[in-house]
């Protein structure tokens, strides 16, 4: 870019453009009503100051554009009439501010003719990168140790060419240092004074990355020693990794590459991880406060999580120094949850790597959790297999015991059923014999009644016949026939009544027989016992009253479910009993006894 003065006649202004030169910038800043256009990187001055601009920049070899030449040719007389700004008169032996700054600048350059190495901490450096500036303006601060109050400060400037060269050298360095706020640096500087505002400053020309890397290591070691002195350095490392860490808390920049790598790795595992993300700045001056806020969040909810992971993506070695603070280290050490760290690469180390479980990368941190869950799953599968084998053996043993018990029960039930059937057959035989006796008796009674009735009918018939014969002797044939008919009607009527009486007698006999059968069924001893009654037998047989038993006498009580042996004592309310061991006590419930009360 050449030094050029152009005209924008439609806007009534001049445009001054030139490659960056700090001394020439100072000259342009003296122009009236000038302003800088950052989009075109040029200076603008109102057209009314044309004559003063041309005269002021004439010694700096600026070219004039064709449009400006044409404008000056057309307005030559007008341009000559433009008055130059009036300069103040200075008494002899008096310096102006510009002269004083200029002489001070010459003195500094003479005293510090050579560049010197300077150590300090970068401040207000990152805002230049965020604003897109090419030349960086920042401060160098002196602190007795990391985190202490500053004791001195100086302005510094890093011009674009030097900045690009320094940043490229740092990237190519094996130490991998990136300039940022709060970083302790050793820089090669040229001491200068800016005459336009009298600002004392240093111009940075180079950076020593080895010094910065050493300072980072010292700060990390200092923080670790402080944690050791408090006795907390190994607290989190001593916590065991949970057997099945499925409830995972994650501290990282949300939606960053580190978050995506970690979450994707967990999702690909196929396990049911429950991931809770708390956003935190993982680089920059707000890292400490942001990470501490996230750690406090998970500490307050420790019962809801199994493990906490702190991850971040790739970056320079100096970026990891944001985690090398005592506050973050102590918060991690005292956290009741196991912390998995994945904030760097294999060659990078930060404070978290020595006080928590270090895995270097977000993907490796996720793999630690996945491997632990896999081990837990394999252990559970083995335990399930052993439990299944044990349960199978136990079930088989119980099945065998059930088979034996079932066989014994079946044998006992079969015996009981056979005895019950025998008793039932005997009772049925007795009832059948009683019924047959009753039926035979009723039949004989019926036969005798029929015989008596037949004899009575026969007698009546003979009597009637004799009477008929007697009457026939003195009666006519017709009278005899009429009388015979009447007698025959009477006989038929009596015969019908006799038949009805016979049927009624048979029905009553059958009803009595059925009643006797029902009484037999109701008075079945087994049925009586099932209703809660009992049969008491003493030495002399069935006992019908307490007076039949003497004090101290033994007696047997038969119930529906078995038999008891008891002894009578003097107090009728205090009776001691014991279960009989006789075979009769094995009778099943409801089995009628062989002997009726």
Burial tier of 17 (Cβ tally within 10 Å: 0-12, 13-18, 19+)? middle
Topology, domain 232-360: Rossmann fold (3.40.50)
> Between 581 and 434, whose confidence is greater?
434
User: Which secondary structure element, helix H or strand E, spans residue 416, and what is its range?
Assistant: helix 362-474
Instruction: Kindly state the average pLDDT of the residues 508-532.
Output: 82
Topology, domain 97-207: OB fold (Dihydrolipoamide Acetyltransferase, E2P) (2.40.50)
CA 218/CA 584 separation, integer angstroms: 98
CA 513/CA 506 separation, integer angstroms: 10
The tens digit of pLDDT for each residue in 413-450 reads: 999 898 888 988 888 888 888 888 888 888 888 888 88
- pLDDT exceeds 60 at position 270: yes
**Taking the complete model, does pTM exceed 0.75, yes or no?**
no
CA 310/CA 282 separation, integer angstroms: 9
In this structure, are residues 360 and 346 in contact, taking their beta carbons and an 8 Å threshold? yes
In this structure, are residues 343 and 246 in contact, taking their beta carbons and an 8 Å threshold? no
Q: Which residues pair with 4 in a beta bridge?
A: 17, 63
Give pLDDT, residue 299.
92
Give pLDDT, residue 174.
58
Strands 535-538 and 541-542: antiparallel
Give pLDDT, residue 584.
43
- pLDDT exceeds 50 at position 319: yes
């Amino acid at each position: 870019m050449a030094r050029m003065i152009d005209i924008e006649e439609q806007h009534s202004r001049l445009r001054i453009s030139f490659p960056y030169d700090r001394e020439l910038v100072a000259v342009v800043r003296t122009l009236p009503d000038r302003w800088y256009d950052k989009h075109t990187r040029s200076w603008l001055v109102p057209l009314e100051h044309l004559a003063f601009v041309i005269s002021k920049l004439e010694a700096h070899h600026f070219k004039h554009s064709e449009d400006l030449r044409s404008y000056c040719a057309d307005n030559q007389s007008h341009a000559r009439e433009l008055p130059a700004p009036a300069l103040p008169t200075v008494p002899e032996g008096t310096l102006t501010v510009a002269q004083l700054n200029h002489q001070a600048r010459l003195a500094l350059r003479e005293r510090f003719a050579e560049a010197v190495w300077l150590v300090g901490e970068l401040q207000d450096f990152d805002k230049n990168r965020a604003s897109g500036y090419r030349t960086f303006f920042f401060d160098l601060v002196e602190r007795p140790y990391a985190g202490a109050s500053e004791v001195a400060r100086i302005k510094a400037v890093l011009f674009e060419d030097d900045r690009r060269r320094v940043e490229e050298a740092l990237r190519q360095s094996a130490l991998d240092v990136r300039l940022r706020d709060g970083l302790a640096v050793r820089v090669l500087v040229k001491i200068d004074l800016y005459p336009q505002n009298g600002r004392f400053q240093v111009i940075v020309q180079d950076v020593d990355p080895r010094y910065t890397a050493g300072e980072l290591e010292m700060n990390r070691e200092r923080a670790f020693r402080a944690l050791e002195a408090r006795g907390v350095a190994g607290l989190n490392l001593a916590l065991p990794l949970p057997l099945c860490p499925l409830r995972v808390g994650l501290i990282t920049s949300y939606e960053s590459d580190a978050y995506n790598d970690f979450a994707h790795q967990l999702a690909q595992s196929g396990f049911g991880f429950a991931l809770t993300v708390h956003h935190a700045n993982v680089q920059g001056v707000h890292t400490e406060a942001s990470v501490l806020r996230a750690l406090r969040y998970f500490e307050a909810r420790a019962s809801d999580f199994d493990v906490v992971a702190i991850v971040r993506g790739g970056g320079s070695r100096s970026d990891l120094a944001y985690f090398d603070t005592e506050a973050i280290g102590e918060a991690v050490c005292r956290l009741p949850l196991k912390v998995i760290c994945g904030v760097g690469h294999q060659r990078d180390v930060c404070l978290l790597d020595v006080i928590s479980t270090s895995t270097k990368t977000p993907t490796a941190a996720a793999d630690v959790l996945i491997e632990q869950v896999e081990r837990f799953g394999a252990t559970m599968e083995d335990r399930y297999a052993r439990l299944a084998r044990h349960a199978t053996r136990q079930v088989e043993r119980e099945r065998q015991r059930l088979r034996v018990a079932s066989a014994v029960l079946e044998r006992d039930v079969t015996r009981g059923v056979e005895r019950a059937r025998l008793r039932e057959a005997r009772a049925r035989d007795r009832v059948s014999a009683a019924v047959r006796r009753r039926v035979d008796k009723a039949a004989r009674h019926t036969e005798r009644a029929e015989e008596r009735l037949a004899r009575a009918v026969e007698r009546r018939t003979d009597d009637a016949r004799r009477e008929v014969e007697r009457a026939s002797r003195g009666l006519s044939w017709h009278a005899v026939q009429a009388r015979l008919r009447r007698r025959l009607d009477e006989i038929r009527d009596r015969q019908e009544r006799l038949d009805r009486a016979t049927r009624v007698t048979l029905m009553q006999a059958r009803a009595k027989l059925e009643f006797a059968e029902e009484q037999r069924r109701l008075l079945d001893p087994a049925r009586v016992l099932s209703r809660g009654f009992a049969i008491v037998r003493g030495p002399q047989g069935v006992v019908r009253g307490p007076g039949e038993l003497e004090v101290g006498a033994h007696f047997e009580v038969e119930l529906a479910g078995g038999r008891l042996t008891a002894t009578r004592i003097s107090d009728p309310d205090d009776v001691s009993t014991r279960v009989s061991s006789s075979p009769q006590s094995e009778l099943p419930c409801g089995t009628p006894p062989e002997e009726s009360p």
